[in-house]
Structure 1
Amino acid sequence: MTINVSDAPIRSILEGVIKAGNMNVLIDDSVQGNMTLHIEHVTPEEVVDVITESQNLFYDKSGTVRYITAGRNHEREIKYYTWQLQYTTPEYVAEAVQAMIPAAKIKHHSLSNTLVVGATKREAQLINKLVAQLDKKPLQVDVSVRIMSIDRKALKKQGIEWDWSTWSNEGGSLFSWVGHIQALEEKGDAEILANPHIMAMNGQAAHILIGDRVPVAKEHTKQGEKTTSVSYEEAGVKLNYTPIIHADGSVTAAIEAEVSTPVLVPEMKAYRISTRRAKTVVRMKPDKTLVIGGLIGKEEMEHFRKVPLLGDIPLVGKLFQSRYKTSKETEVVIMLQARPIQDEEQNTVATELFPSIEGGDKDKGI
């Protein structure tokens, strides 16, 4: 392409070059004035670059449709903009901004949860979009938990045998035992120990403890001598639940369940802890109930009987007394349902952008 014009309107020259080069460029009304241009053997793109550089025009090539406007130096002027964050931390957003615009001057204030960035107007527009993506109200899930103690013999009669190796993230055995357990509850073979609800934030672990702290005996050996100390530990049912919430309403949950049973050691007046654990990662749908089983325990009970009056006679009374032990296998079953909380305001972000006084821009916003 060859151009040879004298004192011609800049806008007309650009329009002719853009049309000849079949380019997608929008020329702002602010582009005015005349110029003289003599140039040979160049492409339309090179001509546009020469004109915008020599005439102090701003040429934005970032989008599918490019645009040219007056005041290139003005557009590159650094100003300071402020974002008041609502949900995330300024440190987190600052790291993302620095990765996107390495040259940006970034400051943050943790107490006021404020991010301050020195950038061009165009860069500030990009940062504003980034902040809108990062500063969102965290998703939450409402987890309904039912913890039950079930007679092991009754479970076997129902044909329930937990096989963790067959459980998959798509469901299967994880969700198929609800009807059987409800039948056992109706017959009195299952007892509800607790029925808590917890709110879990997306990606954050939530914890449940149904139990108490009990004195636990621990033996130590030092220089050949055995000593026993007592410390307090948590015993009962523990549940750790970490959700990842998906757009379709399903939840991928990392679940750790633990059942700790205190066993009394009479001579020490303390307990030893018998622990059963289960761990899985599963995808849950809102209308499905997840069942965690296989947490088997054994309860040993000591019984005492005597013949009235005769059993109380000194010395010979033992002849009319009897002691015996029985054991009962129980299984703790944990049933969970997860329901994501719908919040209409979760995607709203309140950000106010204020150019600095040094920037000289009186307009608020970008």
Structure 2
Amino acid sequence: MKTCVRVLAIGIAAISWYMPVSALQVRVSDAPIRTVLEGLAKSGNLNLIIDDSVQGNMTLHLDHVTPAQAVEAIAASQNLFYDTGSPIGIITAGRNEEKGKQYYTWQLKNTTPEAVIRAIQAVVPAAAVKSYADSNTVVVGSTKREAQLVNKLVQQLDKKTAQVDVAVRIVSLDRKALHKRGIEWDWQPFGSGSQTVFSWLGQIQALSEQGKAEILASPHIMASNGKAAQILIGDRVPVLKEHLANGEKTASISYEEAGVKLNYTPYIHQDGSVTASIEAEVSTPVWVPEMKAYRISTRRAKTIVRMKPDKTLVIGGLIGKEEMEHFRKVPLLGDIPLVGKLFQSRYKTAKETEVVIMLQARPVQDEEQNTVATELFPPIEDEKCLLAGNGVDR
């Protein structure tokens, strides 16, 4: 199969291109060189930069050639320099060594062309810069000295982003059981002879064995330095919304996220410690039978804390109340019409719960980027821990 390239030489040549194929028949007469090259690049899906110095018209007849071969033939016949030493071809007029402005390419590994281009334009505003997203490549037209500046800039920017390995454990605790064991969130300074504040971790383990504590989730995420990572453990539920318009109260239903939401933004220091901005939110849906929808009860905590890799951050005080309706009946007798209610019982119970979020953060070295940590938390008896409620280490 072949495609014909036709030229109507009336004043300025016009070229008609058909679907891109492997073999072409090229017929051009007094056509602009730039137009022919652009058409060949489009037909052959070639990454091609044509310098502004490429000017003039040409006449050319070629049979059974690929778009790339046609470009090479045009460059040779028109005394153009065709640089194919990078993923993007570059065509300039004359010998490239004789030109003050040359083209340089950088294929980025760890960042995007957009981020690099902004920096290049700020440092070398005279440079001509173009990017190719499909090959993650930046092409810069500049002098040799400017290219040296750009190269240093690219080397600084095209580095692996530091990452933090974040292990999270979310636990729901029975408030009554906590009170019986004397566990409270007290932010007063502890004296030298007081009981260690971290002994309650072992008590939480004991509560779990008694069914008074439940691990809701143990997610594990990687967070990039300076960028927010989010964990959402929950679902979207229909929520009742009330509106007041023209003195009339109306209600509508919309869907909102309910559950445990955690936003974590790390900032890594050279000593291996991590300063993190943390926002925790626990949203509990409360069923409204009259509206057949939920109301959302929300508890939030926000802190900024600096942690070392061997410590655990604990966010507590996210207290909520759960109301439950229970129904019991005597089998068979409870199903008898009218009198069956005598063998049925309904009652409500309320339980206060507290959600505790425990986090560990560890900067990941370059050789560990593609690995996953196997240990989320150290043994419970390792009591190197931080308490966070007001953004201050204790």
- Give the TM-score range, shorter chain: 0.5 to 0.7
2-side partners of 1:261 and 1:297: how far apart? Answer: 8
Q: What secondary structure, in the 3-state scheme, does the structure 1 residue paired with 2:161 have?
A: coil
2-side partners of 1:177 and 1:142: how far apart? Answer: 25
Structure 2 counterpart of 1:184, which letter?
A: L
Choose which of 129, 139, 159 in structure 2 pairs with 1:116.
139
The alpha-carbon deviation at position 139 of structure 1 amounts to: 1.9
Q: What secondary structure, in the 3-state scheme, does the structure 1 residue paired with 2:242 have?
A: strand
Structure 2 counterpart of 1:231, which letter?
A: S
The alpha-carbon deviation at position 331 of structure 1 amounts to: 0.4
Choose which of 280, 283, 287 in structure 2 pairs with 1:264.
287
Worse-matched range after superposition: 304-313 or 178-187: 304-313
Structure 1 counterpart of 2:220, which letter?
A: H
Aligned CA RMSD, in angstroms, stands at 3.2
Structure 2 counterpart of 1:133, which letter?
A: Q
CA contact (8 A) 1:177 1:291 kept: no
TM-score by length of 1: 0.64
The alpha-carbon deviation at position 105 of structure 1 amounts to: 3.5
2-side partners of 1:94 and 1:275: how far apart? Answer: 43
Which residue does 1:326 correspond to in 2?
A: 349
Shift of the 342–312 alpha-carbon distance from structure 1 to 2, 3 Å rule, reads same
The alpha-carbon deviation at position 118 of structure 1 amounts to: 3.0
Show structure 1 runs of 5+ residues with no match. Answer: 1-73, 167-172, 347-366
2-side partners of 1:174 and 1:126: how far apart? Answer: 55
Q: 1:278-311: per-residue Cα shift (whole Å, max 9, x none)?
A: 1111122222111111110111123345677876
Q: 1:132-154: per-residue Cα shift (whole Å, max 9, x none)?
A: 11001222222111111101122
Which residue does 2:167 correspond to in 1?
A: 144
Worse-matched range after superposition: 300-309 or 107-116: 300-309
The alpha-carbon deviation at position 156 of structure 1 amounts to: 2.4
Choose which of 273, 278, 295 in structure 1 pairs with 2:318.
295
Q: 1:308-343: per-residue Cα shift (whole Å, max 9, x none)?
A: 787677666656655432211110111111222222
Which residue does 2:119 correspond to in 1?
A: 96
Shift of the 138–198 alpha-carbon distance from structure 1 to 2, 3 Å rule, reads same
Which residue does 1:128 correspond to in 2?
A: 151
Q: Considering only CA atoms, is the larger Rg found in Structure 1 or Structure 2?
A: 1
Choose which of 252, 270, 277 in structure 1 pairs with 2:300.
277
CA contact (8 A) 1:145 1:197 kept: yes
Q: What secondary structure, in the 3-state scheme, does the structure 1 residue paired with 2:290 have?
A: helix
Q: 1:210-258: per-residue Cα shift (whole Å, max 9, x none)?
A: 1111111222333344332212111111111112222332222111111
Choose which of 85, 107, 120 in structure 2 pairs with 1:84.
107
Which residue does 1:249 correspond to in 2?
A: 272
Q: 1:88-138: per-residue Cα shift (whole Å, max 9, x none)?
A: 122222222233334434333344322222333333223222211100122
Shift of the 237–165 alpha-carbon distance from structure 1 to 2, 3 Å rule, reads farther
2-side partners of 1:223 and 1:159: how far apart? Answer: 52
CA contact (8 A) 1:174 1:292 kept: no
Q: Which has the higher contact order (CA 8 A, sep 6+)?
A: 1
Which residue does 1:362 correspond to in 2?
A: none
Residues 1:208 and 2:240 are matched in the alignment:
no
Shift of the 255–165 alpha-carbon distance from structure 1 to 2, 3 Å rule, reads farther
CA contact (8 A) 1:239 1:256 kept: yes
The alpha-carbon deviation at position 180 of structure 1 amounts to: 4.0
Structure 2 counterpart of 1:197, which letter?
A: H
Q: What secondary structure, in the 3-state scheme, does the structure 1 residue paired with 2:367 have?
A: coil
Q: What secondary structure, in the 3-state scheme, does the structure 2 residue paired with 1:344 have?
A: helix
Number of equivalences: 267
Residues 1:193 and 2:210 are matched in the alignment:
no
Show structure 2 runs of 5+ residues with no match. Answer: 1-96, 190-195, 370-394
Q: What secondary structure, in the 3-state scheme, does the structure 2 residue paired with 1:268 have?
A: coil
Shift of the 103–339 alpha-carbon distance from structure 1 to 2, 3 Å rule, reads same
Which residue does 1:360 correspond to in 2?
A: none
Which residue does 1:12 correspond to in 2?
A: none
Shift of the 79–164 alpha-carbon distance from structure 1 to 2, 3 Å rule, reads farther
2-side partners of 1:201 and 1:128: how far apart? Answer: 25
1-side partners of 2:127 and 2:138: how far apart? Answer: 12
Q: What secondary structure, in the 3-state scheme, does the structure 2 residue paired with 1:188 have?
A: coil
Worse-matched range after superposition: 118-127 or 301-310: 301-310
2-side partners of 1:128 and 1:163: how far apart? Answer: 55
CA contact (8 A) 1:211 1:234 kept: yes
Worse-matched range after superposition: 224-233 or 337-346: 337-346
